[in-house]
Amino acid sequence: MGLISRREFLAAFPAAQARRTPGKTQQYPAELKRYADPLTEREVWRLTGTSTPHQLPHSHQRFVAHNNSFLLLGGEREGSPQALRMELPSGRMAQLSHGPGVAVSSICLAPDERSFFFLQGGALKQTGFRTLKERDIYNVEDGWLATGDLGISIDGRYAALVEMRAADRVDDATQQFERKPLCRIRVVETFKGNSWIAVEEKAWLARPQIRPKRDQILYCHEGPWERLVTRLWLVNLDGKQKQSVRPRQGEEELGPEYWSGDGKLIGYAHYPDHSGHKATVRAFNPDTREEQVLSLCTQFWHLRGNTDNSAIAGASRSKAGPNLYVLFPVIQREMTVCEHAATTVAPRAVFSPDSQWIYFASDRGGVPAVYRAAVGDLVEKT
């Protein structure tokens, strides 16, 4: 499975209520640092300081404005993770939430970029940027927990979130997998608040991603990749036609996964065995059941295509070369962008909407921080 830190895992679950001074609207000065990458000499920006932990939302979320004027991220404030907005290129930040810890991985921009969605304290919320007024869309039932996994449709009409039976929750990731917790994927209509259960299984479910331009959800069984026979699954929003996307064959490993921008293909890294050698990026068409090998890759740990999938941002899990790459499927060429040097945090590499920057996270400075690297000279603007 992909590495997740204990901080990330625990932040996904509701925190206890406590009296705190609301920090919403609190402003924070820029802590930008520009440097030349020691490996490639390419320009890289560290966007957050190294005194306080900061992390990006999950790579399938929208968290960078289309015009690159701001991004959303999570940071340790008030003793728990909170949602923050960073203005670009200045680097100034403002706090957007307060109270129980926000599940940073769930933070997602609404399509009109006037508000954002997130999970906090067992509630799915939407907050407008102008007034910072919160709207509770859905609250998890007693006896259940929101794990922090959230997917929002491209039109913002639907949300898909993972709920786990509270009695099945444990803090250790391996034990969580082995416990086979009762989990379900709940679909919520964000405008009306209506909801229903699309999937319920005795398995650790994660990463629900609503298919662009289709009423389907891609999700996975979380756990060690080598122990998951059927990791990737697809189900209709109404819970019908649940199907295994790509069963594992032999000792191969698959993941992590993402939708192409047009919703036609599922992209993922493929490993023929546990050695990490001969890794490839592949695309699977769930309508035709055809799999295509796009290119060899350097042990991609996390990956995500740009808007038209003409370029793929990949972060290597190789300890000898913990680098960030851009892969061009058409010419099957991979180019090194910089070192990510992440050890315990997920890099979550993702392109900006115009493909001119790659945003990623790293704890190379001792504390999780957010970075971005300029790639406009490599990738055409989208």
Residue 11 has a CB neighbour count (10 Å cut-off) of 22
**DSSP code per residue over 61-78:** S--B-TTSSEEEEEEEET
| Residue 333 confidence (pLDDT) above 80 | yes
C-alpha span between 96 and 85 (Å, rounded):
7
Matching residue, tokens 């979130």? 161
pLDDT value at residue 221: 96
pLDDT at 21 over 80: no
Q: Which of 14-23, 119-128, 341-350 is the least confident region?
A: 14-23
The model's pLDDT over 262-317, given as tens digits with 9 standing for 90+, comes to 999 999 999 998 887 899 999 999 999 999 999 999 999 889 999 999 999 999 99
- pLDDT given for residue 356 in this prediction: 96
pLDDT at position 376 is: 95
**pLDDT value for 226:** 82
| Structure confidence by residue, pLDDT tens digits, 146-177 | 999 999 999 999 999 999 999 999 999 999 99
Reported as a pLDDT band with limits 50, 70 and 90, residue 22 is low
The whole-model pTM stands at 0.91
- Average pLDDT on 86-100 reads 96
Among 18-32, 72-86, 254-268, 316-330, the minimum mean pLDDT is found in: 18-32
The band of 85, judged by pLDDT with boundaries at 50, 70 and 90, is very high
How many residues are listed for the chain in this entry? 382
Q: How confident is the model at residue 232 (pLDDT cuts 50, 70, 90)?
A: very high
Lowest mean pLDDT among 12-26, 241-255, 342-356, 359-373: 12-26
Checking 344-348 for CB contacts under 8 A at 24+ apart, the result is 344/3, 344/5, 345/5, 345/8, 345/55, 346/2, 346/3, 346/4, 346/5, 346/8, 346/301, 346/302, 347/301, 347/302, 347/315, 348/55, 348/56, 348/57, 348/58, 348/59, 348/302, 348/315
- Residues 6 or more apart from 337 whose CB is under 8 A from it? 37, 40, 42, 323, 324, 325, 326, 358, 373, 375, 378
Token pair, residue 382, equals 């989208």
Please, which pLDDT band fits residue 5 given cuts at 50, 70 and 90?
very low
The per-residue pLDDT for range 188-214, each reduced to its tens digit, is 999 999 999 999 999 999 999 999 999
Residue 17 has pLDDT above 50, yes or no: no
Per-residue pLDDT band for 90 (boundaries 50, 70, 90) equals: very high
